[in-house]
Amino acid sequence: MNAHAASPHPLISNELDVLAAMLPLQHLAQHRAAVNVIELGCGNARLSRELLELGLARSVTALEVDTRQHALNVAKPHANLTFLLAGAAAVPCGDACFDLALMLKSLHHVPMHEMGRALNEVARVLKPGGWFYVSEPVYEGPLNDIVKLFNDEYMVRMSAQLALDESLDRHDTPWKALQEERFDVPVRYTDWADFEQRMLYPTFADHRIDAAKLATIRAAFEAYASRQTATGGVRFTRPMHVRLLQKTV
């Protein structure tokens, strides 16, 4: 794990910058044609809230399967933002309702046997000509090397990309591939305690952390931290891969 390895990809702190560079959201907003958005696997819906605050979306419907996160979202309402407790494989919305669908680090969390169904659902709820923005973490880098000690996502991340490939390769595919981008996201933890709290015990998963595994993870984290010279916490980058698709029919 090289703390100083250079990356050929840009460092992007706010993924909205990537989305806005790919899609004419500002132009549409200026011409009073702001889009209706669905976010599948929204987490805390930070980017969706920002789209609304900036006037780049008319409305957002945000789906989340984690009941605890959904309750937190509902407790912080926002105008024109609707939260639904639902998953991507069974979207409780009508056909052709949305102009833009977002999956931000969420496709690989869909059960592998349901990924194809989830992509079909996205196609169903998008209008013809609608966009599908899929952002997925890449299985590489120092942060991934530590996280895989307790949550190895190799199979699910590869399956997410394979599901997209298969959907695009179908003879009856509703999709056209428009663009791909790779970038790095800065990730910072104050210290080991911060990493432990945020990463080892999420509300949506039980990583079965026993004392031996905890010691191994901490040793790897602190070995990486010891090689950093910058102050202000322990800094990583998370490599990301974005695909932008368009519904053709």
pLDDT single digits (tens) 20-69 = 999 999 888 887 777 999 999 999 999 999 999 999 999 999 999 999 99
Q: Name the CA dihedral angle for 109, 114, 115, 119, rounded to a multiple of 10 degrees.
A: -120
Cβ atoms of 153 and 222 closer than 8 Å: no
Residue 107 lies in a domain: yes
- Can you give the CATH number for the domain in which 111 is found? 3.40.50.150
Please give the full DSSP string across 41-90, using - where no structure is assigned: S-TT-HHHHHHHHTTSEEEEEEEE--HHHHHHHHTS-BTTEEEEE--TTS
pLDDT at 1 (0 to 100): 43
Residue 68's domain comprises 16-247
pLDDT band at 205; cut points 50, 70, 90: confident
Residue 6 lies in a domain: no
pLDDT at 33 (0 to 100): 77
Question: What SS3 state is found at 218?
Answer: helix
When divided into structural domains, the chain yields a total of 1
Residue 111 lies in a domain: yes
pLDDT band at 5; cut points 50, 70, 90: low
Residue 2 lies in a domain: no
pLDDT at 2 (0 to 100): 45
Q: Cα separation of 51 and 159, whole Å?
A: 29
Q: Cα separation of 152 and 115, whole Å?
A: 18
Q: What percent of the chain has pLDDT over 70?
A: 98
Question: What SS3 state is found at 8?
Answer: coil
pTM value is 0.93
Residue 4 lies in a domain: no
Residue 117 lies in a domain: yes
Question: What SS3 state is found at 156?
Answer: helix
Residue 195 lies in a domain: yes
Residue 79 lies in a domain: yes
